[in-house]
Amino acid sequence: MGVTYFKRFRMELDLRDGLFPQPMVPSEYFTLLWDENLIEQHSETKFRSFRFEIDANVFQCLGNRDGCRRLMGDISRRSNFLPNSTILIGHRDPDSGQVDYCGTIQAIRDNMNRGSIQNIGVTPEHRGMQLGTFLIYRAMQGFLSEGLQAGTLEVTAQNTKALRLYERLGFRVTRTVFKAVEVSLV
Ligand SMILES: CC(C)(COP(=O)(O)OP(=O)(O)OC[C@H]1O[C@@H](n2cnc3c(N)ncnc32)[C@H](O)[C@@H]1OP(=O)(O)O)[C@@H](O)C(=O)NCCC(=O)NCCS
């Protein structure tokens, strides 16, 4: 076994001056607030969002269904879990009426009393429709409703698409960290 290091940025959005404008998303999308009966839908959406992405190398649990299920269970059982900032997005096909879930975000309160986004994922076929922006908007609204004055997250430096999105929404890098990951050498 060897170890590889992934550069990650901690980012923060100051909410004291308010929030960026609510993005418009097409009407076939709908949102569901956290409910423990939705754990399977969150887990599956997380898996389909992350499985081919860089973060599935950084956090191996994100690359498989069981890992995503375990992670969702762990997050939602934490005493600092923030259900009001944990959102699922569904899509209803206008022709067939068929529903699939395509966006998920979860959050906890950190020990500095900030809202901390744990994972945000949009499935590949639904990207570029402002769903990511919308998920962050709703999570931040949840933070404000809890009286929290800042939102934080961590992003892998190579994840340029996510990084650009966060910067565009006003997040600023506060720290650079390195995540050690064990890799097989054969
Ligand atoms: C990061 C992620 C959540 C973004 O989701 P998304 O729904 O595509 O996000 P948005 O649509 O709000 O914004 C993404 C881009 O689409 C563009 N976009 C937004 N609305 C658009 C529209 N109507 N038409 C065309 N492009 C649009 C945005 O300008 C943005 O472009 P940018 O890359 O230049 O910033 C998604 O790519 C993802 O799930 N990635 C894999 C998992 C992951 O890495 N998560 C982040 C972990 S930190």
Closest Cα partner for 121 from 74, 167, 37, 52?
52
Task: Indicate which atom in ligand 1 lies nearest the CA of residue 53.
Answer: 41
At residue 117, the pLDDT reads 98
Domains, in order of start, for the chain = 2-183 (3.40.630.30)
Q: How far is the CA of 33 from the centre of ligand 1 (A)?
A: 21
Condensed to tens digits (0 to 9), the pLDDT of residues 109-146 reads 999 999 999 999 999 999 999 999 999 999 999 999 99
The two tokens of residue 3 are 């170890």
Residue 1: the pLDDT is: 79
What atom of ligand 1 comes closest to residue 119's alpha carbon? 47
Mean pLDDT score of the chain, rounded to an integer?
A: 97
Return the pLDDT at 178: 98
What is the value of pTM for the model shown? Answer: 0.95
CA nearest ligand 1 atom 33, residue: 161
59 by Cβ neighbours in 10 Å (0-12 / 13-18 / 19+) ranks as middle
pLDDT in tens, 23-76: 999 999 999 999 999 999 999 999 999 999 999 999 999 999 999 999 999 999
Q: Is the C-beta atom of 155 inside 6 A of ligand 1?
A: yes
Instruction: Encode pLDDT of 73-95 as tens digits.
Output: 999 999 999 999 999 999 999 99
Q: Which residues contact 175 (CB under 8 A, 6 or more apart)?
A: 9, 10
> Is residue 168 within 6 Å of ligand 1 at its C-beta?
yes
Residue among 25, 133, 171 to mutate when testing ligand 1 (max atoms within 8 A of CB):
133
